[in-house]
């Protein structure tokens, strides 16, 4: 062995990170399909609609127009202005262009935010259930993730008492929120969100709010951002990945107090340089154009599927599901089915893939 080979190995932090369960199951499903197996994949959180046509055309024009050079680290001035206007128009959030930065997707936005806010050893509260990547993102930022369970009996929403107790027990510095929630579809009403935000303020927690599903709502549910209630305490992550089917374009936004955004932009300048210039052009059209009719059609399709799936799941002995109020997921109670087969939720997901040829995601991270 080369004397230098021993030093060429992943560090302890990277070794401790687990592969995304969602992507791992999606990869297994793809491999089975490549082998000729007919698999229904309900794993990755990605719309099956194509990119909104006008948005895709904007990206094509950028390529043909030679918009392929470096941009400012936080995105082009035009995109930042358009994104600030979009936040105001769609969600009533008052951001100046210096309070918004473009990122290479939602996960990088969360990474930049956490890496800007978290000091080594800081505890970050994660109301559960949550997107499986959240704990790893906190760990990458040298923080310590702590679950705050919020089960079906409370509508998958943390209470103010839950947050205060966890913050005091673990000396927390921040909390990550995600409404509409992946995977439960939970959407708090104003009073519930006010309780959550008030608890965060009482414990002096910063809030990182992942709002990527904010355009996908059902049954009259209303999206309210924590930044509508406490803008000085909140960073918002949002974009068109789900509403405009831009998942592969890798474009998103981080918004909040100007000094924090400036710091996150400095970090991004060293980490990735800038988001893809072509994707920024597509993002500009997504923010500035009127695509409300197309988005409404897509939400109506998701709504129809939501109702069909919940009805079908409730006909299966051992499964129970309620209608989500937002996003495009159903978090079913599979505990009776797990008990019947003597497996946990991961084992059940593997059984469903092997025997039923259906790829799903376990309910626990």
178 vs 30: CA distance, rounded Å: 28
- Domain carrying residue 351: 5-50+292-359
Provide the pLDDT confidence category of residue 346 given band limits of 50, 70 and 90. confident
Segment 313-336 mean pLDDT: 97
Q: Residue 254: what are its φ and ψ, rounded to 5°? A: -120, 130
pLDDT the model gives residue 355: 93
pLDDT, one tens digit per residue, over 6-55 is 678 999 999 988 877 777 777 888 899 999 999 998 887 899 999 999 99
Whose CA is closest to 226, among 240, 214, 244? 214
Which residue shows structure tokens 């082998």?
35
Same structural domain, 194 and 335: no
pLDDT the model gives residue 232: 98
pLDDT the model gives residue 139: 97
Same structural domain, 182 and 325: no
pLDDT the model gives residue 364: 78
Overall domain count for the chain: 2
Same structural domain, 177 and 58: yes
Token pair listed for 158: 């943390």
pLDDT, one tens digit per residue, over 137-169 is 999 999 999 999 999 999 999 999 999 999 999
Same structural domain, 192 and 297: no
Token pair listed for 269: 């300048």
Q: Tell whether the model's pLDDT for residue 1 goes beyond 60.
A: no
* 365 domain residue, yes or no: no
Segment 297-314 mean pLDDT: 98
* 191 domain residue, yes or no: yes
Whose CA is closest to 83, among 273, 253, 261? 253
* 194 domain residue, yes or no: yes
Same structural domain, 162 and 250: yes
Whose CA is closest to 109, among 327, 260, 290? 260
- Domain boundary at 288, 312, 344, which? 288
Same structural domain, 198 and 329: no
Q: Tell whether the model's pLDDT for residue 2 goes beyond 70.
A: no
358 vs 355: CA distance, rounded Å: 8
- Domain boundary at 273, 288, 303, which? 288
Same structural domain, 183 and 327: no
Asked if 181 and 154 count as a contact pair (C-beta separation under 8 A), the reply is: no
Provide the pLDDT confidence category of residue 108 given band limits of 50, 70 and 90. very high
Q: Which helix (H) or strand (E) holds 103?
A: strand 100-103
Same structural domain, 115 and 187: yes
Torsion of CA 119, 80, 88, 131, to 10 degrees: -40
191 vs 360: CA distance, rounded Å: 33
The pTM score is: 0.95
CATH number, residue 145: 3.40.640.10
pLDDT the model gives residue 5: 65
Asked if 189 and 223 count as a contact pair (C-beta separation under 8 A), the reply is: no
146 vs 125: CA distance, rounded Å: 5
Token pair listed for 326: 């937002």
């Amino acid at each position: 062995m080369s004397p230098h080979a021993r030093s060429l190995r992943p560090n302890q932090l990277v070794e401790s990170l687990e592969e995304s369960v969602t992507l791992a199951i999606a990869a297994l499903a793809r491999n089975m399909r490549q082998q000729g197996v007919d698999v229904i994949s309900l794993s990755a959180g990605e719309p099956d609609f194509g990119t909104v046509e006008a948005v895709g055309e904007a990206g094509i024009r950028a390529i043909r127009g030679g918009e392929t050079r470096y941009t400012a680290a936080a995105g082009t001035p035009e995109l930042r202005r358009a994104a600030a206007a979009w936040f105001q128009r769609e969600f009533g959030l008052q951001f100046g262009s210096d309070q918004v930065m473009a990122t290479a997707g939602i996960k990088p936005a969360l990474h930049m935010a956490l890496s800007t806010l978290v000091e080594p050893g800081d505890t970050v509260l994660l109301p559960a259930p949550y997107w499986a990547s959240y704990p790893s993102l906190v760990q990458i930022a040298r923080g310590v993730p702590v679950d705050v369970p919020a089960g079906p009996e409370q509508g998958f929403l943390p209470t103010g008492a839950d947050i205060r107790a966890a913050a005091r027990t673990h000396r927390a510095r921040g909390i990550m929120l995600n409404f509409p929630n992946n995977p439960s579809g939970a959407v708090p009403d104003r009073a519930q969100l006010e309780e959550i935000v008030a608890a965060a303020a009482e414990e002096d927690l910063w809030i990182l709010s992942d709002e990527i599903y904010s355009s996908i709502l059902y049954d009259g549910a209303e999206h309210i951002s924590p930044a509508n209630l406490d803008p000085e305490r909140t960073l918002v992550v949002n974009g068109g990945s789900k509403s405009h089917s831009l998942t592969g374009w890798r474009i998103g936004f981080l918004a909040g107090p100007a000094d924090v955004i400036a710091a996150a932009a400095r970090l991004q300048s060293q980490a990735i340089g800038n988001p893809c210039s072509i994707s920024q052009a597509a993002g500009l059209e997504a923010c500035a154009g009127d695509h409300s009719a197309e988005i409404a059609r897509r939400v109506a399709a998701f709504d129809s599927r939501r109702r069909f799936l919940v009805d079908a799941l409730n006909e299966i002995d051992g499964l129970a599901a309620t209608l989500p109020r937002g996003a495009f997921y159903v978090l079913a109670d599979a505990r009776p089915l797990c008990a019947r087969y003597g497996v946990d939720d991961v084992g059940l997901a593997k059984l469903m893939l092997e025997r039923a040829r259906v790829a799903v995601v376990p309910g626990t991270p």
